[in-house]
Structure 1
Amino acid sequence: MGKWFATFYDMWMGPLERKAFGRIRKKLLVKARGKVLEIGSGTGLNFPHYRHAVTVTAVEPDPTMVRLSEQRAKNTPVPIQIITAGAEDLPFPDDSFDTVVGTLVLCTIPDPDKALREIRRVCRPGGRILFFEHVRVTHPILGRIQDWLTPVWKRFCDGCHLNRHTLEQIERSGLHVIRVERYFQDIFLVIEAASQKKGPYNGRTSYEAKGSVE
């Protein structure tokens, strides 16, 4: 990740965080319990929202992001350890965590399918998987705009893809998708899933809801 992007990330995201994203994170992360793994923790925007975790292990591949997140990790309700690592090769044994969290990260990971396999591996059977992601929409015009913008967007936003079919990737990975909430014309999804170890899960979600942000 480019140093300039990491340095200015919080400033760039500030209006979105204050208007909507902060409340979405808070609502989602109250469900993170036990030993928690966060992938792609960035500058630590999730850190203040962990209330019921026992410990949080955060992995982030970008050294500048890690450095910026260390201050947030000092002022949190639960102990947080930050490790410089990528999601495609997690340095943990199988079934190490009760909850795995990823927010606005699967759009950027070079190999999201491999990362999802690793998430499934390190989360205990029946554990929670909590995502907040943006995806390609099905709207014929908006979806094409996302496709058209993605090559340029990736260059300026350090590999972020606007047009990934992230929900479908999660379903194919063998994670059991339980609940989906949709925000902002279905561009942003909150996805709650459960870890299961016996074979792929090819079903659809059991519950979908429209999220609202005032």
Structure 2
Amino acid sequence: MGKWFPTFYDFAMKPLEKRRFKRIRRNLLSQATGRVLEIGFGTGVNFPYYKNADRVDAIEPNPRMIERSQKNLMKSNAAITTFTSSAEQLPFSDNSFDTVVATLVFCTIPDPHQAMKEILRVSKPGAALLFLEHVKLDQPGLAKAQEVLTPIWKKVCDGCHLDRDTLGMIKTYDVTIKNVQEYYKGLFLTITCLNDK
């Protein structure tokens, strides 16, 4: 885990958050109801947007991100409990959650398939799965550029893969995809699904 990345993250993301991400997050997280699991909460940028959740259990593997999340935790009206945990080994029982949220995190998870299996395990049948992710672009030239830049980008940005096909990965599991919305010409997607198990 990068030592400086948590400090840099909020500063680097501020222009996107102010322009469109605030509205995107608000709209996506308004669908988070019941008992909610958030995967990789980072600096807690989602915390103030939980308006309809009964309770939020949020996991994050980077202790420095957890430290930086306290400011956003104080801004939230939701009952949020944070855990130091990886997405690949969630410390929760089967069929525990009504909603799972993952925003801008699948790019950094070392084993995204194992994380997805865990999400499906701990979420209830019919649970809402809400994603906001940056993904590999469809345009061949830009997709190639993402592939070339990813090894350097991973070192600079705490393991972030620019070229992850997160939507393609999600489609390989037993989920019903309800909606996919593109932003910034397909670089970012919101993906809403239901757990079909």
CA distance in 2, matches of 1:106, 1:173: 15
TM-score normalised by L of structure 2: 0.98
Aligned to 1:166: 166
The number of equivalent residue pairs is: 197
Match runs of 1:47-126 below 5 Å: 47-126=47-126
Assess if the C-alpha contact under 8 Å between 1:36 and 1:57 holds in 2: yes
Aligned to 1:177: 177
Q: Displacement of 1:11 after TM fit? A: 1.0
Q: Which moved more, 1:82-91 or 1:174-183?
A: 174-183
Q: Displacement of 1:161 after TM fit? A: 0.4
Q: Displacement of 1:125 after TM fit? A: 0.4
CA distance in 2, matches of 1:63, 1:186: 31
Aligned to 1:46: 46
CA distance in 1, matches of 2:84, 2:112: 18
Q: Which amino acid aligns with 1:15?
A: P
Q: Displacement of 1:141 after TM fit? A: 1.0
Q: Displacement of 1:178 after TM fit? A: 1.4
* Structure 2 SS opposite 1:178: strand
Cα RMSD for the two superposed structures: 0.8
Q: Which moved more, 1:48-57 or 1:65-74?
A: 65-74
Q: Displacement of 1:135 after TM fit? A: 0.6
Runs of at least 5 residues in structure 2 that lack an aligned partner in the other structure: none
TM-score normalised by L of structure 1: 0.90
Q: Name segments (4+ residues, structure 1) moved above 6 Å.
A: none
CA distance in 2, matches of 1:135, 1:73: 28
